[in-house]
Structure 1
Protein backbone atom coordinates (compact mmCIF):
# COMPACT_ATOMS: atom_id res chain seq x y z
CA UNK A 1 0.00 0.00 0.00
CA UNK A 2 2.87 2.38 0.68
CA UNK A 3 4.01 2.30 -2.95
CA UNK A 4 0.55 3.43 -4.10
CA UNK A 5 0.55 6.35 -1.69
CA UNK A 6 4.05 7.36 -2.73
CA UNK A 7 3.07 7.27 -6.40
CA UNK A 8 0.13 9.58 -5.68
CA UNK A 9 2.16 11.96 -3.52
CA UNK A 10 1.00 10.60 -0.15
CA UNK A 11 2.89 9.30 2.88
CA UNK A 12 2.56 6.21 4.99
CA UNK A 13 3.94 6.35 8.50
CA UNK A 14 3.60 3.60 11.08
CA UNK A 15 2.50 4.56 14.57
CA UNK A 16 2.61 2.18 17.56
CA UNK A 17 -0.96 1.60 18.72
CA UNK A 18 -0.44 0.58 22.39
CA UNK A 19 -2.05 2.97 24.87
CA UNK A 20 -3.55 5.22 22.17
CA UNK A 21 -7.07 4.55 23.43
CA UNK A 22 -5.98 5.12 27.05
CA UNK A 23 -4.36 8.51 26.33
CA UNK A 24 -6.36 11.72 26.63
CA UNK A 25 -6.47 13.46 23.22
CA UNK A 26 -6.65 16.94 24.78
CA UNK A 27 -3.22 18.46 23.98
CA UNK A 28 -2.98 20.26 27.32
CA UNK A 29 -3.74 17.03 29.21
CA UNK A 30 -2.36 13.87 27.56
CA UNK A 31 -3.03 11.81 30.70
CA UNK A 32 -2.40 8.08 30.15
CA UNK A 33 -4.10 5.56 32.42
CA UNK A 34 -5.89 2.26 32.04
CA UNK A 35 -8.69 3.70 34.21
CA UNK A 36 -9.46 6.20 31.41
CA UNK A 37 -11.22 3.24 29.73
CA UNK A 38 -13.91 2.25 32.24
CA UNK A 39 -15.64 0.12 29.55
CA UNK A 40 -14.68 -1.30 26.16
CA UNK A 41 -16.17 1.57 24.16
CA UNK A 42 -16.01 4.40 26.69
CA UNK A 43 -13.20 6.86 27.27
CA UNK A 44 -13.31 9.23 30.25
CA UNK A 45 -10.14 11.08 31.27
CA UNK A 46 -9.60 10.95 35.02
CA UNK A 47 -7.62 14.18 34.97
CA UNK A 48 -9.52 16.63 32.74
CA UNK A 49 -12.90 14.90 32.34
CA UNK A 50 -12.85 14.61 28.53
CA UNK A 51 -15.31 11.95 27.35
CA UNK A 52 -15.60 10.17 24.03
CA UNK A 53 -15.72 6.83 22.25
CA UNK A 54 -12.54 4.85 22.92
CA UNK A 55 -12.00 4.03 19.22
CA UNK A 56 -12.36 7.69 18.26
CA UNK A 57 -9.88 8.71 20.95
CA UNK A 58 -7.41 6.08 19.72
CA UNK A 59 -7.79 7.30 16.13
CA UNK A 60 -7.25 10.92 17.19
CA UNK A 61 -4.05 9.98 19.01
CA UNK A 62 -2.77 7.88 16.10
CA UNK A 63 -3.49 10.74 13.68
CA UNK A 64 -1.65 13.23 15.90
CA UNK A 65 1.35 10.89 16.21
CA UNK A 66 1.41 10.24 12.46
CA UNK A 67 1.30 13.94 11.62
CA UNK A 68 4.10 14.58 14.10
CA UNK A 69 6.22 11.89 12.42
CA UNK A 70 5.60 13.45 9.02
CA UNK A 71 6.44 16.93 10.29
CA UNK A 72 9.69 15.72 11.85
CA UNK A 73 10.88 13.49 9.00
CA UNK A 74 13.29 14.63 6.33
CA UNK A 75 11.83 15.34 2.90
Structure 2
Protein backbone atom coordinates (compact mmCIF):
# COMPACT_ATOMS: atom_id res chain seq x y z
CA UNK A 1 0.00 0.00 0.00
CA UNK A 2 2.41 2.62 -1.11
CA UNK A 3 2.70 2.73 -4.89
CA UNK A 4 -0.92 3.52 -5.71
CA UNK A 5 -1.45 6.23 -3.06
CA UNK A 6 1.87 7.78 -4.10
CA UNK A 7 0.80 7.82 -7.75
CA UNK A 8 -2.53 9.41 -6.84
CA UNK A 9 -0.77 12.01 -4.69
CA UNK A 10 1.71 12.77 -7.46
CA UNK A 11 -1.13 13.10 -9.99
CA UNK A 12 -3.00 15.48 -7.68
CA UNK A 13 0.18 17.52 -7.19
CA UNK A 14 0.77 17.77 -10.95
CA UNK A 15 -2.83 18.80 -11.66
CA UNK A 16 -2.69 21.39 -8.86
CA UNK A 17 0.63 22.75 -10.18
CA UNK A 18 -0.83 23.02 -13.69
CA UNK A 19 -3.84 24.90 -12.34
CA UNK A 20 -1.51 27.19 -10.37
CA UNK A 21 0.52 27.86 -13.53
CA UNK A 22 -2.65 28.57 -15.51
CA UNK A 23 -3.86 31.10 -12.93
CA UNK A 24 -0.59 32.78 -11.96
CA UNK A 25 1.84 32.08 -14.81
CA UNK A 26 4.40 30.72 -12.32
CA UNK A 27 5.61 27.12 -12.21
CA UNK A 28 5.73 24.83 -9.19
CA UNK A 29 7.89 21.99 -7.93
CA UNK A 30 6.00 18.75 -7.22
CA UNK A 31 7.48 16.12 -4.90
CA UNK A 32 6.13 13.11 -3.03
CA UNK A 33 7.31 10.39 -0.68
CA UNK A 34 6.62 6.67 -1.07
CA UNK A 35 7.14 6.11 2.66
CA UNK A 36 4.91 9.00 3.75
CA UNK A 37 2.11 7.98 1.38
CA UNK A 38 2.36 4.35 2.46
CA UNK A 39 2.06 5.42 6.09
CA UNK A 40 -0.87 7.71 5.23
CA UNK A 41 -2.74 4.92 3.43
CA UNK A 42 -2.17 2.55 6.37
CA UNK A 43 -2.78 5.18 9.05
CA UNK A 44 -5.70 3.37 10.67
CA UNK A 45 -3.69 0.16 11.06
CA UNK A 46 -0.63 2.02 12.32
CA UNK A 47 -2.70 3.92 14.90
CA UNK A 48 -4.38 0.71 16.03
CA UNK A 49 -1.03 -0.99 16.63
CA UNK A 50 0.35 2.05 18.47
CA UNK A 51 -2.69 1.89 20.77
CA UNK A 52 -2.20 -1.82 21.51
CA UNK A 53 -4.41 -3.29 18.79
CA UNK A 54 -3.57 -6.43 16.86
CA UNK A 55 -3.45 -6.79 13.09
CA UNK A 56 -5.46 -9.69 11.70
CA UNK A 57 -3.46 -11.50 9.10
CA UNK A 58 -4.90 -13.65 6.35
CA UNK A 59 -6.67 -16.75 7.65
CA UNK A 60 -5.36 -20.20 6.67
CA UNK A 61 -6.81 -21.71 3.49
CA UNK A 62 -9.00 -24.09 5.49
CA UNK A 63 -10.63 -21.23 7.42
CA UNK A 64 -11.05 -18.60 4.68
CA UNK A 65 -14.35 -16.72 4.71
CA UNK A 66 -14.23 -15.84 1.02
CA UNK A 67 -13.03 -17.85 -2.01
CA UNK A 68 -11.29 -14.74 -3.36
CA UNK A 69 -8.97 -14.62 -0.35
CA UNK A 70 -7.89 -18.28 -0.49
CA UNK A 71 -4.49 -19.54 -1.59
CA UNK A 72 -4.61 -21.88 -4.60
CA UNK A 73 -1.97 -24.19 -6.04
CA UNK A 74 -0.83 -23.18 -9.54
CA UNK A 75 0.04 -25.40 -12.47
CA UNK A 76 3.77 -25.06 -11.64
CA UNK A 77 3.03 -26.51 -8.17
CA UNK A 78 3.58 -23.20 -6.32
| Normalised-by-shorter TM-score class | under 0.3
The structure whose residues are more often strand, as a share, is: 1
TM-score with structure 1 setting the length: 0.25
Give the alignment's TM-score, normalised by structure 2: 0.25
Larger Rg: 2
